[in-house]
Amino acid sequence: MSALSLAGLDRACRALPGSEAVSLEHAILGAAFALVAPADDWRGPIDAVLPEACDFAPDLVARAVAYVTATDARVTVTASGVRVQALGYRAGPAGP
């Protein structure tokens, strides 16, 4: 089975009534963000490598970072895997 991509999430949300689509999107983006969220404080800077057997495609994880933190994620492929980096909520436009 392949990882859920942003396009796959969009297709699933379009197939549902409004409030159910919002709930699904919120749940999936929250789960994807949890993969890269800083352990000590979710509002901190993000610098994580996705697990090799990840249920979410990198584009969906990047969207989850934007959804939760209001900052853009940089996704790069490295020798150790797919690395996701972002300023994080606190350093972004929504943070204090």
For residues 81 and 49, the answer to whether their CB atoms sit within 8 Å is yes
**73: amino acid identity, one letter:** A
Give the tens place of pLDDT for each residue, 42-96. 999 999 999 888 999 999 999 999 999 999 999 999 998 999 999 999 999 998 7
**What DSSP assignment string belongs to 15-58?**
TS-HHHHHHHHHHHHHHHHHTTS-SS-TTS-EEEE--SS-SB-H
Instruction: Reply yes or no on whether the pLDDT at 1 is more than 70.
Output: no
Q: What is the pLDDT of residue 96?
A: 78
Among 49, 46, 48, 57, residue whose Cα is nearest residue 6: 57
Q: What is the pLDDT of residue 19?
A: 93
This prediction's pTM: 0.93
Q: pLDDT tens digits for 12-56?
A: 999 999 899 999 999 999 999 999 999 999 999 999 999 888 999
3-class secondary-structure state, position 78: strand
